[in-house]
Amino acid sequence: MNLITTAPRGTKDILPKEAYKFSLVENAIKKIASSFGYREIRTPVFEHTSLFKRSVGEETDVVQKEMYTFKDKGERLLTLRPEGTACIARAILENGLHNSTLPLKLFYLYSCYRYEKPQAGRYREFNQFGIECFGAKSATADAEIICLANEILNKLNINDVVLNINSIGCPNCREKYFKALSDYLNDKKENLCEDCKTRLKTNPMRVLDCKKINCKKIIENAPIMLDFLCEDCSEHFKNVKQILNNLGIKYNIDGKIVRGLDYYTKTVFEFIYNKNQEPLTICGGGRYDGLTQQLGGPDLPSLGFAFGLERLINVLEENDYFKDKSYEDCKIFIAYADQIAKNKVFSLVKELRANGVYAECDLNDKSLKAQLKYANKINAVYSMVLGEEEIKSNIAKLKNMKTKQTIDINIDEYFFNKFLNIINSGEN
């Protein structure tokens, strides 16, 4: 083959043998989110670039290096969404959803776009399942969303996961912390990478995200936000931990988690999967109390999290989750022995499908032998052949492809009910 092009780097085709796994997981997750009162929301795949600059933060890697930004024909500066929260906050404010009963609980299933170096579990186009809860300020809300993420992992039987939590305070307590952190980092400035030298001036907390070895070493002994929390943030974090304890949800406190996006405040958390490989964040989230105001809306204390679906599915594959959850096999293949039977075959198949049964027939003018070979190939559970005689007598032989046993069945107007009776009774 001489294809003129291939899929862009960092993207992948989700083929049928994988796509059904996405549907399966998405449906399972949706059901859990619904039981916590979350409703689906969908927003455009691109937004004005300013939305992400203002909310995610000018100094974050996402905004600085990873956004797919372009000008449209009307000279508007647009960006493919790199994450979901900012888009949803914009949508609820623009549509006035925050004026309804609060808290407003929303979930989304989105593709997101980040220009990152592609590697295992890291793509340029990836899918997130996220939840956002607007207008909930108490620690119970923090515990509830953590509980929801935890429930998803439990229902999907994922065990090798740890929950790390932290509090990164609010603008009030951050001032003192930024000073301490800047003092500490300034002392070691010479050994920081060029990016971190800039971050030190604009937002020293972003240095804590740096993955470069030298910077990571320096960060190890850096002061942590937990030691600088104001009374309100400290009390809030204490309450979150208390509720998690009451719910029996295990966690570690990791003072180094800051999350890669600027809008977070107070509680932040990550679920890390670490079985046989490098630890992998499969879910991350936290509180973002200032976001709606930052976007020009009212003060709405809010919070949320996102799962990376590709990562989640990789983990599920590793844990054999899909082993006995394959595609549905074709229930029945109906073949024709001659042209007279062709129309009848098609109308029986139509009737079965209208009743939700996965039925197939030939679409390629194949010989009878070739039709039955095909039925074998697609693992049809039953097969049936119609010819002149069957049409005349209204009776055909239904064959169980595994046991090779056959049973007579009427192909009149009650065919579907009879077929159902036979497969349910296990008669054949």
Which chain residues interact with ligand AMP by CB under 6 A? 83, 114, 116, 121-123, 126, 128, 260, 281-284, 306-308, 310-311
Q: How far is the CB of 114 from ligand AMP (least distance, A)?
A: 5
- Exposure of 228 in the CB half-sphere (CA atoms within 13 A): 19
309-318 helix and 16-35 helix, angle to the nearest 10 degrees? 110
Beta-bridge mates of residue 384: 334, 398
Identity of the residue, 268 or 391, whose beta carbon is nearer to ligand AMP in the bound complex = 268
Q: How far is the CB of 121 from ligand AMP (least distance, A)?
A: 6
Q: Is 222 helix (H, G, I), strand (E, B) or coil?
A: coil
Q: Which of 92, 151, 61, 120 is nearest to 302 (CA)?
A: 92
Identity of the residue, 118 or 298, whose beta carbon is nearer to ligand AMP in the bound complex = 118
231-247 helix and 139-155 helix, angle to the nearest 10 degrees? 40
Beta-bridge mates of residue 211: none
For residue 358 the two structure tokens come to 């996965």
Helices (H) and strands (E) in the chain, counts: 15, 16
Q: How far is the CB of 198 from ligand AMP (least distance, A)?
A: 21
Identity of the residue, 311 or 344, whose beta carbon is nearer to ligand AMP in the bound complex = 311
Identity of the residue, 105 or 311, whose beta carbon is nearer to ligand AMP in the bound complex = 311
Q: How far is the CB of 54 from ligand AMP (least distance, A)?
A: 16
Are 49 and 115 in contact, with CB atoms under 8 Å apart?
A: no
Q: Tokens 């620690």 identify what position? A: 139
CA distance 410 to 417: 10
Are 115 and 79 in contact, with CB atoms under 8 Å apart?
A: no
Q: How many CB atoms lie within 10 A of CB 275?
A: 13
CA distance 362 to 128: 39
Q: How far is the CB of 294 from ligand AMP (least distance, A)?
A: 17
CA distance 175 to 346: 73
Tell me the backbone φ, ψ of residue 333, rounded to 5 degrees: -110, 125
> How big is the chain, counted in residues?
428
Identity of the residue, 139 or 283, whose beta carbon is nearer to ligand AMP in the bound complex = 283
Q: How far is the CB of 352 from ligand AMP (least distance, A)?
A: 40
Identity of the residue, 123 or 419, whose beta carbon is nearer to ligand AMP in the bound complex = 123
Are 143 and 248 in contact, with CB atoms under 8 Å apart?
A: no
**Distant-in-sequence, close-in-space partners of 85: CB < 8 Å, separation ≥ 6:** 55, 130, 132, 261, 263, 288, 291, 304, 306
Identity of the residue, 11 or 410, whose beta carbon is nearer to ligand AMP in the bound complex = 11
CA distance 134 to 98: 8
Identity of the residue, 285 or 371, whose beta carbon is nearer to ligand AMP in the bound complex = 285
Q: Is 399 left (phi over 0), alpha (psi -120 to 50) or beta?
A: beta
Q: Would strands 332-336 and 382-386 be described as parallel, antiparallel, or unpaired?
A: parallel
Identity of the residue, 113 or 228, whose beta carbon is nearer to ligand AMP in the bound complex = 113
Residue nearest to ligand AMP (CB): 308
